[in-house]
Amino acid sequence: MPKSQPNVAVIGATGAVGDVFLRVAAERRFPLSRLRLLATARSAGKQLHYGGESITVEETNEENLRGADLVFCSATSAASREWAPFITSQGAIMIDDGSAFRMQANVPLVIPEVNADDLAWEEGIISIPNCTTTPLAMALHAMRQVAPLKRVTVATYQATSGTGAAAVEELRSQLRAYGRGEPIPAPSVYPHQIAMNVIPQVDVFGEDGYTAEEAKMMNETRKILHLPELPFSATCVRVPTVIGHAEAVQVEFSSAAALNDIREALSKQPGVVVMDEPSKSIYPTPLNSEGDDRAFVGRLRLDPSVEFGLAFWVATDNLRKGAATNAIQIAEELIKRGRL
Ligand SMILES: NC(=O)c1ccc[n+]([C@@H]2O[C@H](COP(=O)([O-])OP(=O)(O)OC[C@H]3O[C@@H](n4cnc5c(N)ncnc54)[C@H](OP(=O)(O)O)[C@@H]3O)[C@@H](O)[C@H]2O)c1
């Protein structure tokens, strides 16, 4: 029975995404009749704030998930896999921020401004894309209205909050030590010091030399755009920022795509903002994307190294549109469609 005020549970409420999720849900006045905040037993008893309310964090277990109509999961892949069967068995919908189900054939991978219609075939689990995939797919979706996509290459500049709260603390503690002229503490989250450095490794390496993050970006973009064969090569790099992922992208089209037509298509794309006045040093940066729910695109220029090429730059708040906001927008869309 569809409800317009679902009972909601959040798994991973104490994490980097969970924190932003609570803020975004309150800002958007997401309609809910009950909110349970779940994490591991370590966090049980902590108080979190939602709107003006203080809510006690509880351990994730069947008892605390029972009765939920909608579960947002932003924890770990293991937690998603562990709790999905129980959540769906009681007829609830799970919107999963992690990578556990993204490439599963019966799980829609959704950016509402791009492929909301994929929600029509959900069977209880809906995934949101990786935080680097989302802004790129939004920009590419706009551009393919002008000319078909032939090939994509991208290099990312990913903030530490993309790895979670512990990684942000690792950067902060290294910067504090650097500022005081003290020895920099050894890294425990990243394979190398992240302060004053960039690391060309996000997640683990596969046999083909690409990291899991790069594979996610390539495969997820193909799935969202319904272009399973799209040639795509990604290099994902961690940089010492806190919030906001940026990407340098080269696209090759199958036919001519005029710069003005690309700009117009981008400016019509919901959720995308063109920020592109290079002579005034106006272009997107991670800092300007922070706290905003849109993908900012700039540095648009033709790429003369191929026949129909374009280069651009995109920046987005990875915790908002890259995670929490996208998940909430999916739930809003489900309400609109009478599924919740
Ligand atoms: N950060 C991003 O930019 C981003 C973007 C898109 C998607 N995501 C995805 O969102 C998820 C969360 O990321 P995050 O950055 O928020 O990580 P995080 O800061 O490390 O937070 C992890 C959260 O999950 C909880 N948790 C861990 N294991 C659990 C378990 N077995 N059962 C229940 N809860 C468990 C933690 O609870 P405790 O506090 O009790 O340990 C914490 O609340 C990940 O799947 C990530 O891939 C993240």
The CA 139 to ligand 1 mean position distance, Å, reads 27
Is 286's C-beta closer than 6 angstroms to any atom of ligand 1?
no
Taking residue 183's Cβ as centre, other Cβ atoms within 10 Å add up to 8
18 lines ligand 1 (CB under 6 A): yes
Enumerate the active-site residues: 131, 245
| Closest C-alpha residue for ligand 1 atom 3 | 162
Residue 1 confidence (pLDDT): 47
Helix intervals (H) in the chain: 16-27, 62-65, 77-89, 112-115, 133-143, 165-180, 212-225, 259-268, 286-289, 325-336
Which residues on adjacent β-strands are paired with residue 93?
70
CA–CA gap between residue 229 and residue 42 (Å, rounded): 44
227: its two tokens: 């272009």
184: burial class by Cβ within 10 Å (0-12, 13-18, 19+)? middle
What is the tens place of the pLDDT at every residue in 306-319? 999 999 999 999 99
Quick one: which of 17, 3, 136 has its CA closest to 69? 3
| Residue 66 dihedral angles phi and psi, to the nearest 5° | -65, 135
For residue 120, give the DSSP letter: G
Residue pair 68/5 in contact (Cβ under 8 Å)? The answer is no
User: Residue type for 318, please?
Assistant: N
Cα separation, 235 vs 233, whole angstroms? 7
Spans in the chain with pLDDT lower than 70: 1-4
Give the pLDDT confidence score for residue 203 in this predicted structure.
97
Rounded distance from Cα 18 to ligand 1 centre (Å): 7
Ligand 1 atom 45 nearest Cα: 98
Span between the terminal Cα atoms of the chain, in Å: 8
Q: Are 98 and 72 in contact (CB under 8 A)?
A: no
CA angle 179, 185, 187 (to 5 degrees): 120
Domain spans in the chain, listed from the N-terminal domain onward: 7-129+323-336, 133-318
Per CATH, domain 7-129+323-336 is 3.40.50.720: yes
Contact 75, 15 (CB under 8 A): yes
Q: What's the pLDDT tens digit per position in 228-237?
A: 999 999 999 9
Distance of CA 247 to the CA centre of its chain: 13
Ligand 1, atom nearest to 60 Cα = 33
Q: Which of 37, 83, 95, 97 to mutate to test the pocket of ligand 1 (most atoms within 8 A of CB)?
A: 97
Residue 305 confidence (pLDDT): 97
> What pLDDT is stored for residue 2 in this prediction?
52
Cβ-proximal residues to 27 (8 Å cutoff; 6+ apart), any chain = none
pLDDT at 3: 58
Q: What is the pLDDT of residue 299?
A: 98
* pLDDT score recorded for residue 193: 98
Residue 294: the pLDDT is: 98
CATH class of 133-318: alpha beta
Beta bridge partners of 36: 9
| Ligand 1 in reach of 90 Cβ (< 6 A) | no
Q: Which of 14, 64, 76, 126 to mutate to test the pocket of ligand 1 (most atoms within 8 A of CB)?
A: 76
- How distant is the alpha carbon of residue 95 from its chain centre? 13
Which residue, by CA, sits nearest to atom 15 of ligand 1? 164
